[in-house]
Amino acid sequence: MQKYILDHKRALTILNGGLLVVAGLEHFFLKQGKVELLALILAGMVGVLPIAIQAFQALKIKVVSIDVLVTVAVLGAFVVKSYEEAAVVTFLFLAGHFLEQATLKKTRQAIKALTEMAPQTSFKQNQAGQFEEVPITAVSQGDLLLVKTGGKIPVDGQVLSGTGAVNEASITGEAQFSSQAARVTGIGGDDFGKWDSASSSTASWGRDYFR
């Protein structure tokens, strides 16, 4: 039963808000009082259910969470027959939790999209001085990498030679190129492009190569 209620917290929030709307319409337009009182009581009871369950779960592990405090406040409002406060407090708390979860979901999606932008391979200089394509997991600190025009920076590091511009929009949010030259630090996942025609169309890149 507890799991069912918590799984349907969003529906309970909507029901709680709907009952508040009914109570408001009754109060401001019909002004009979009976429907308003019933709607407020039901709104408070519906709203406090998931909060009380979470409060109980928190108390089981000896944690006095915000759910415990809200539950005590709502029960106190019922005791003194302040049904308006009970209904409004539960709605605000549930709505706030819903908005918080929505924000966290968007944040997780943004972080996931950012990590997926990182390339899976890189051009690493071997012992013969040649650059060969290897998995990103084969890159270690101090390795020398080659970043071609239009390619992505495989790892965080420092430009050792070459000049050009880097699209850092994935990190800064600014859709413009940032000038890069030797000894400038870059972030993995950024795009290299718009290389100076006087320089090479590639850049040497050292992972965490700081001096």
Give yes or no: residues 28 and 130 share one domain.
no
Nearest to 15 by CA among 61, 59, 48, 62: 48
Q: Write down which residue in 84, 116, 148 finishes a domain.
A: 116
The one-letter amino acid at 107: T
Claim to verify: residue 95 and residue 74 sit in the same structural domain:
yes
Q: 147 forms bridges with which residues in the sheet?
A: 203
Same domain, 144 and 107: no
Q: Are 11 and 83 within one domain?
A: yes
The per-residue pLDDT for range 1-52, each reduced to its tens digit, is: 777 787 778 888 899 899 989 888 887 887 776 788 899 999 999 989 999 9
Confidence of residue 75 (pLDDT cuts 50, 70, 90): very high
Using only C-alpha atoms, the chain has a radius of gyration, in whole angstroms, of: 29
**Domain limit, last residue, from 116, 147, 181:** 116
Which residue do the tokens 């050792």 mark? 160
Strand partners, 148: 202
In 3D, which of 103, 62, 74 has the Cα closest to residue 16? Answer: 74
Residue partners of 41: CB distance under 8 A and separation at least 6: 83, 87
Q: What's the pLDDT score for residue 204?
A: 47
pLDDT of residue 207: 44
Region for 189 from its dihedrals, namely left if φ exceeds 0, alpha if ψ lies in -120 to 50, beta otherwise = left
Structural contact between residues 145 and 122, judged by C-beta atoms closer than 8 angstroms? yes
Confidence check: pLDDT of 121 > 50: yes
* Structural domain containing residue 109: 2-116
Predicted confidence band at 123 (pLDDT cuts at 50, 70, 90)?
A: confident
pLDDT (tens digit per residue) in 166-198: 777 766 666 666 655 554 455 554 544 433 323
In the chain, the N- to C-terminal Cα span, in Å, equals 61
pTM of the model: 0.57
> Which position has the higher pLDDT, 201 or 151?
151
Tokens of 30: 């019909």
Count Cβ atoms within 10 A of the Cβ of residue 43 and give its class: 0-12 exposed, 13-18 middle, 19 or more buried: buried
Mean pLDDT of the chain: 78
Number of CB atoms found within 10 A of residue 10's CB: 13
Which tokens is 163 given?
């000049």
| Rounded percentage of the chain residues whose pLDDT exceeds 90 | 18
